[in-house]
């Protein structure tokens, strides 16, 4: 039995256990964004519902900061966000824990400059108008990039726009560049060039990721659901890893991602390939959820929080973010 079938079988067992516990399906609202990943296929095919036995209301948000606010208000129980808004939320006391690395951003976020903007080298950014969604992973890496380039944030006109607004502003010619993710990234690449990617910046010591966080009270009360959810995501990711060549412009999988995110099918296969999707074993490694205080996710949240405080976005930085990183559900999903 291959890994996908094994996880699917385990997820099916979870459905039976949940069904036995309650004759009436429970309900939960989960926040998602427009990033391209295999989970979108699972959403369209209702694979998470099948794996958990729950009714799920999938709610689309325009940015991670909005997701964290929804988690803080109780509008959603689980949500997707980048490492920057997650760090901000945890630092401000939002009672959530990170339990899954949705994607290693790698080259899927980048600083793109417009053709004809006069920007050829990093020093040419001075005085230019560069857009990014504030308090996002892209914002974090944009300012980190400026620092590495020897530029101050005030040397550049950094403006706060959501991804969809960036794409529209780009078409109007209102901005000279942008640091963002797909589908907006693919759109602006058509009339621009990549100056640097998040993957390249991560090699300079400060990584970023997109993760899934859960309200702690909900997770404590519904551990079987969260574990089954993790299994369903792992199945979707593994299927992509094994069948990547089949995920073409005309495939149902790419059509599903386009449906959920609003992206163009012709852009998605190449954009999807820019991300990394950690396996269950990789999730539990010191690179991500494992390792305690010295683990990759905990350190990334700490570095990001320090950046956010420098920018005046948060008041305090916690000494240790490992308390908000929870590998237990991935451990259970893997049978450990």
Both 329 and 247 in one domain: the answer is: yes
Both 187 and 228 in one domain: the answer is: no
Give residue 203's pLDDT: 85
Strand-pairing partners, residue 212, are 80, 100
Q: Is the dihedral of CA 18, 22, 24, 27 positive or negative?
A: negative
Both 179 and 228 in one domain: the answer is: no
Both 183 and 215 in one domain: the answer is: no
What domain range includes position 10?
3-104+208-334
Cα–Cα distances in angstroms (integers) from residue 223 to residues 6, 20, 298, in the given order: 20, 15, 22
For 311, other C-beta atoms within 10 Å of its C-beta total 14
Both 168 and 311 in one domain: the answer is: no
pTM recorded for the entire structure: 0.82
Strand-pairing partners, residue 104, are 209, 276
Give residue 211's pLDDT: 97
Strand ranges of the sheet holding 209-215, from the earlier edge strand across to the other edge: 55-60, 27-32, 78-82, 209-215, 96-104
Both 322 and 197 in one domain: the answer is: no
Q: The domain spanning residue 34 has which CATH number? A: 3.40.190.10
Give residue 333's pLDDT: 97
Residue where a domain terminates, one of 150, 167, 202: 202
Residue where a domain terminates, one of 146, 167, 202: 202
Contact 273, 245 (CB under 8 A): no
Both 175 and 250 in one domain: the answer is: no
Residue where a domain terminates, one of 202, 225, 256: 202
Both 152 and 216 in one domain: the answer is: no
Strand-pairing partners, residue 96, are 215
- From the list 119, 109, 170, the residue with the least C-alpha distance to 144 is 109
Both 86 and 156 in one domain: the answer is: no
- Taking the C-alpha atoms of residue 66 and residue 160, their distance in angstroms, rounded to an integer, is 14
Contact 208, 198 (CB under 8 A): yes
pLDDT 10s digits, 270-303: 999 999 999 999 999 999 999 999 999 999 999 9
Both 91 and 214 in one domain: the answer is: yes
pLDDT 10s digits, 129-148: 999 998 888 999 999 999 99
Both 222 and 323 in one domain: the answer is: yes
- Taking the C-alpha atoms of residue 197 and residue 334, their distance in angstroms, rounded to an integer, is 32
Both 306 and 283 in one domain: the answer is: yes
Mean pLDDT per 10-residue segment, the chain (336 residues): 43 40 73 96 98 98 94 98 95 98 94 97 97 91 95 96 96 97 93 95 88 98 98 98 97 98 94 94 96 95 93 93 98 92
Domain total of the chain: 2
């Amino acid at each position: 039995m291959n890994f996908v079938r094994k996880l699917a079988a385990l997820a099916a067992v979870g459905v039976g256990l949940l069904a036995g516990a309650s004759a009436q399906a429970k309900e939960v609202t989960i926040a998602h964004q427009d990033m391209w990943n295999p989970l979108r296929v699972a959403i369209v095919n209702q694979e998470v519902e099948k794996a958990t036995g729950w009714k799920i209301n999938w709610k689309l948000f325009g940015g991670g900061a909005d997701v964290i606010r929804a988690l803080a208000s109780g509008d959603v129980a689980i949500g997707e966000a980048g490492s920057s808004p997650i760090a901000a939320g945890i630092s401000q006391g939002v009672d959530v824990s990170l339990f899954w690395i949705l994607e290693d951003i790698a080259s899927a976020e980048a600083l793109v400059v417009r053709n004809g903007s006069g920007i050829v080298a990093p020093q040419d950014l001075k005085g230019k108008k560069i857009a990014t969604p504030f308090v996002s992973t892209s914002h974090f890496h944009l300012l980190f990039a400026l620092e590495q380039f020897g530029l101050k944030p005030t040397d550049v006109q950094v403006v706060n726009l959501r991804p969809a607004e960036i794409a529209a502003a780009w078409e109007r010619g209102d901005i000279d560049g942008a640091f963002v993710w797909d589908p907006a990234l693919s759109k602006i690449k058509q009339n621009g060039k990549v100056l640097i990617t998040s993957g390249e910046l991560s090699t300079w010591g400060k990584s970023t990721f997109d993760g899934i966080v859960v309200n702690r009270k909900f997770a404590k009360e519904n551990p079987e659901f969260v574990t089954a959810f993790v299994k369903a995501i792992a199945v979707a990711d593994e299927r992509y890893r094994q069948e990547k060549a089949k995920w073409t412009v005309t495939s149902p999988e790419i059509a599903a991602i386009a449906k959920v995110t609003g992206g163009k099918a012709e852009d998605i296969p190449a954009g999807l390939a820019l991300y990394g999707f950690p396996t269950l074993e990789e999730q539990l490694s010191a690179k991500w959820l494992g390792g305690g205080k010295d683990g990759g996710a905990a350190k990334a949240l700490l570095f990001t929080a320090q950046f956010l405080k420098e920018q005046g976005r948060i008041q305090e930085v916690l000494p240790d973010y490992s308390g908000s990183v929870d590998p237990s559900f991935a451990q259970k999903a893997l049978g450990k």
